[in-house]
Structure 1
Amino acid sequence: MRIHRSILTALLAAVAALPLAASAHTGVDGGMHHGFTTGFLHPLTGADHLAAMVAVGFWSALAARRAWPDLLWAPLAFAGMLLVGALMGLAGVQLPAVEPMIAASLLVLGLLVAARVRLPAVVAMGVVGVFAVFHGVAHGYELASEEGAALTLAGMVSATVLLHVAGIAAGWALRHANAWLPRVAGAAVLGLGAALLAQAI
């Protein structure tokens, strides 16, 4: 029990610190613009993407009525549409308000986590899928003129899946915990989204 509490305390501390972390995107990492490792590490160093990916898994676990397959719908939709968005960005497709939409995704996900909102699977997939496109497009724009984009995208998708799994594990562990624990996590994500939105507009 003490081990579980220590893990949860560390997790909540990390989530609470997200608003203090700097947003980072591929292309500003000291010259390492492509490759599987760079793509894999990117979601782990960008607070906006890390928070969104963990929050999707976290929310899925909190809101799931049953472990299978309810846990998977939203994370799969996010990972799949992230890849679609990245391919759109690589192809030069222009979308408006990319950074504001990334910030808005954190606001919405933070609210969903804090309130433990349950949505039908199709609606949940649609919500996270739309936001994932903007996260993916941001990556695609930055990779459009680089070599090794396919490996970088593979790395990013792999890291995304692992972050979803981490979020699911944390959310599942907190399903029956005190209600304020998920609210703190949701509020931290929401706070990060608000800070990023203020910078983007």
Structure 2
Amino acid sequence: MFSEISKFSAALTACVLAPSLAFAHTGVGHTVGFVNGFTHPVSGLDHILAMVLVGVVAWQLGGRALWLVPTTFISVMAVGGALGVMGILLPFVEAGIAFSVIILGAVVALGIRAPVAIAAGVVGLFAIFHGHAHGSEMPAVVGGVAYAAGFMLATAALHIAGIGLGLLVGKVSEQQGAIVIRSAGSIAALAGVCLLTGLI
């Protein structure tokens, strides 16, 4: 079982990172809407951390949170993306994204087990900011539907990576795994503070 999870995590990581390495600068060379959309979430540390943390939070809660929390994020993110594409202004987008990393990192670090509805509501709130950033930064030369499909698929992959990370670490050792996950949450929250203050 451990070997299968390791292989899955390695393959997923390769799939997520390969496009961002190949197309790190969207709009350069021959790109299409889907590729632009897919690379946007995986080309920024803020998006990567928040979306992986959503997966880890879902894993920590378990049960129906495993699908409900990530699905809520992706669904609400699509709404935020539409607002961004339409040019509807949303205040404090960058701050909202940074706070999503801080708060989700803290939730993981502290092992907070909120009710699933509250967890879904919190990630949904943050998803609006992430979606708006994706939508407002969509290149004018790409197709909106393909672009949206790209960033939604990349987001789902990052959520799955977070769930897979939780499963993988949890299988190694329940006690040590919890320490590793909580430490990772603390580091992510600190990174979020650095993002908010402009240090990174």
- State TM-score, norm by structure 1: 0.79
Deviations 1:138-194 (A, max 9, x none): 111112744312211111101111111111111123342413201221012112211
Determine which structure has the larger helix proportion and give its number. 2
The amino acid that maps onto 2:149 is A
Deviations 1:73-94 (A, max 9, x none): 1111111111110001111111
Q: Which runs of 5+ in 2 are unaligned?
A: 14-22
TM-aligned CA distance change 1:119 to 1:2, over 3 Å? closer
For residue 140 of structure 1, what is the aligned residue in structure 2? 135
Retained in 1: the 8 A contact 2:82–2:132?
yes
Work out whether 1:95 is the aligned partner of 2:90: yes
Retained in 2: the 8 A contact 1:63–1:116?
no
Q: Compute the displacement of 1:127 (Å).
A: 0.1
Secondary structure at 2:91's aligned position in 1? coil
Secondary structure at 2:88's aligned position in 1? coil
Retained in 2: the 8 A contact 1:92–1:144?
no
Aligned partner of 1:42 among 40, 43, 59 = 40
Q: Which runs of 5+ in 1 are unaligned?
A: 15-25
Q: Compute the displacement of 1:34 (Å).
A: 4.9
Q: How many residues align?
A: 181
For residue 190 of structure 2, what is the aligned residue in structure 1? 191
Aligned partner of 1:105 among 95, 100, 104 = 100
Q: What CA distance in whole angstroms lies between the structure 2 residues aligned with 1:152 and 1:128? A: 22
Q: Identity over the aligned pairs, expressed in percent?
A: 39
- State TM-score, norm by structure 2: 0.80
The amino acid that maps onto 1:76 is T
Q: What CA distance in whole angstroms lies between the structure 2 residues aligned with 1:95 and 1:34? A: 27
For residue 60 of structure 1, what is the aligned residue in structure 2? 58
Deviations 1:12-37 (A, max 9, x none): xx9xxxxxxxxxxx995353675112
